Amino acid sequence: MLNTQDILETIRMIREENLDIRTVTMGISLFDCISDDITRLEEKIYNKITASAKRLVSVCEELEATYGIPIVNKRISVTPISYIGAGLSPDGFVRLAKTLERAASALGVNFIGGFSAHVQKGEIIGAHNLIEAIPEALSVTEHVCSSVNVATTKAGINMDAVRKMGEIIKKTAFITKDRDSIGCAKLVVFANIPEDNPFMAGAVHGIGEPDTVINVGVSGPGVVAAAIKEVGHCDFSALAETVKKIAFKITRVGQLIAAEASQRLGVPYGIVDLSLAPTPAAGDSVAEILENMGLEMAGTHGTTAALALLNDAVKKGGVMATNHVGGLSGAFIPVSEDRGMIAAAEAGVLTIEKLEAMTAVCSVGLDMFAVPGDTSAATISGIIADEISIGVVNNKTTAVRVIPVWGKGVGESAEFGGLLGYAPIMPVKGESCEEFISRGGRIPAPIHSLRN
């Protein structure tokens, strides 16, 4: 029997605490589209995506109406395009980006991810040419997202790729400078990229996935913040228990939507990603959770410990609520998408260095933060290398989504709109790391990677 109290509590969380399903993402394999004729390749990719996901948006809308649970984003991820267009020139990859854009627009989805490459140990020609195409591809599309995996714990860090991505990010910032360099908001550099991530900009459909699959990303930082505020000044064991219980309830909602979407679309159910994903809306902030734990402002001393407790409790509670957990699963700390993080960055309490420390204990990494437009490519590569090394050494996924906002400096802000929010320009170190980055080659894998 349904528990009336549980139903009423869920309704309250939706109405008052911003509970939602952040994304339903359909993963689609494009391996059966491969062709040595680019026109034929474009046609097959467009037809495969639009045929597979033709009911994705309408089914999500049906589920919203049936259960009263908002589904904020409907998204698609595809096989990394560097494999599908392996023989193409950079111009050819731009054509494929435009094909993805046409498909996304025709279906009415929010984003399509998978303009991606894996180069942790070296580049195939397709990966090299796709990376060269990224700036133009992101400037001529609105819905296409790109990711590049430059490191794994097993392979180490490809520093040639890290250096190259600093240059690519700078080019992307320049070519989209009329829109506060927004192209960089759709580009993320990874270590240990997961194959089933439903969240953008890093969503890809991994090579070990089914032909099509449904993955769901839950959210609900406002619900967690309210629960912590309600429990008051308890000890840390009770605090963790509070987070675990609410994470269980949030994840059960995600499990329901995942199962229903899978059944109605006739597509296998993949995973539920347990991540707490904030938005710029009031009351939907991970920073607010940390502040409700007792911090005056996110970024002050104690923040990393508070985030570690939160991340662990979310995973422990969520994993009991669903059989298949995947993606990133934890707490996101994007600056521009979190009202509390924005305030902390504007106050100077939250710095890039503190964000980097926090990423050692949370889901992803340095996410959606803006730096001065005149920041050098080498400095950007240094920021990437620092963050990627945390992922490699700790055998976890980390990533960087940095936006050097062309023509702007510290004290100004960049406006991206919608869920991407706005970002204060954060200062970077003035001392150069150019000589270090220019060494090239690979940083070897850590000794604990030898587990076979």
Residue type, 408: K
Per-residue pLDDT tens over the stretch 92-103 = 999 999 999 999
Give the SS3 label for residue 185.
helix
Same domain? 244 vs 376: yes
> Is the pLDDT score of 122 beyond 60?
yes
Span 391-418, mean pLDDT?
Answer: 91
Confidence of residue 144 (pLDDT cuts 50, 70, 90): very high
Per-residue pLDDT tens over the stretch 185-195 = 999 999 999 88
Position with higher pLDDT, 218 vs 74: 74
Same domain? 259 vs 381: yes
Residue 8: inside a domain, yes or no?
A: no
Q: Which two tokens stand for residue 363?
A: 């889901």
How high is the pLDDT of residue 140?
96
Q: Which residue has the tokens 């570690």?
A: 308
- Boundaries of domain holding 266: 217-449
Alpha carbons 71 and 56: distance in angstroms, whole number: 12
Confidence of residue 391 (pLDDT cuts 50, 70, 90): very high
Per-residue burial over 383-422, b if 16 or more Cβ lie within 10 Å, else e, is: bbbbbbbbbbbbebbbbbbbbbbbebeeeebbebeebbbb
Same domain? 227 vs 376: yes
Span 330-354, mean pLDDT?
Answer: 89
Alpha carbons 140 and 138: distance in angstroms, whole number: 6
Beta bridge partners of 443: 157
Span 287-311, mean pLDDT?
Answer: 94
Per-residue pLDDT tens over the stretch 1-10 = 445 455 455 6
Residue 307: inside a domain, yes or no?
A: yes
Residue 41: inside a domain, yes or no?
A: yes
Residue 14: inside a domain, yes or no?
A: no
Bridge pairing between strands 366-372 and 212-218: unpaired
Report the number of distinct structural domains present in the chain. 2
Closest CA to 25 of 197, 141, 192: 197
Same domain? 187 vs 333: no
Alpha carbons 197 and 347: distance in angstroms, whole number: 32
Same domain? 179 vs 223: no
How high is the pLDDT of residue 2?
44
Same domain? 258 vs 391: yes
Per-residue pLDDT tens over the stretch 161-176 = 999 999 999 999 999 9
Span 125-154, mean pLDDT?
Answer: 96
Same domain? 125 vs 241: no
Of 157, 191, 225, which residue sits at a domain end?
191
Q: Which residue has the tokens 């690519």?
A: 168
Confidence of residue 15 (pLDDT cuts 50, 70, 90): low
Which string of DSSP letters, residue by residue, matches 327-342?
A: SS-SB---STT-HHHH
Bridge pairing between strands 366-372 and 398-405: parallel
Q: Which residue has the tokens 């040595």?
A: 36
Alpha carbons 385 and 393: distance in angstroms, whole number: 12
- Quote the mean pLDDT of the chain: 90
Residue 178: inside a domain, yes or no?
A: yes
Closest CA to 144 of 186, 83, 190: 186
Q: Which two tokens stand for residue 45?
A: 């990719």
Same domain? 233 vs 177: no
Closest CA to 221 of 118, 298, 327: 298
Beta bridge partners of 35: none
> Is the pLDDT score of 283 beyond 80?
no
Q: State which H helix or E strand residue 111 sits in.
A: strand 111-118
Q: Considering the entire predicted model, what is its pTM?
A: 0.91
Closest CA to 75 of 332, 261, 280, 263: 261
Same domain? 322 vs 382: yes
Helix, strand, coil percentages in the chain from 3-state DSSP, rounded to 5 = 45, 20, 35
Same domain? 118 vs 171: yes
> Is the pLDDT score of 397 beyond 80?
yes
CA distances from 203 to 9, 23, 208, 411 (A): 32, 11, 14, 32
Closest CA to 97 of 110, 76, 113, 83: 113
Percentage of the chain with pLDDT > 90? 64
Residue 196: inside a domain, yes or no?
A: no
Alpha carbons 57 and 109: distance in angstroms, whole number: 7
Confidence of residue 332 (pLDDT cuts 50, 70, 90): confident
Per-residue pLDDT tens over the stretch 254-277 = 888 888 899 999 999 888 887 787
| Backbone angles phi and psi of 158, in degrees to 5 | -80, 95
Confidence of residue 306 (pLDDT cuts 50, 70, 90): very high
Alpha carbons 209 and 326: distance in angstroms, whole number: 12
Residue 316: inside a domain, yes or no?
A: yes
Residue 406: inside a domain, yes or no?
A: yes
Assign residue 259 the CATH number of its domain: 3.20.70.20
Same domain? 144 vs 292: no
Percentage of the chain with pLDDT > 70? 96
Same domain? 85 vs 228: no
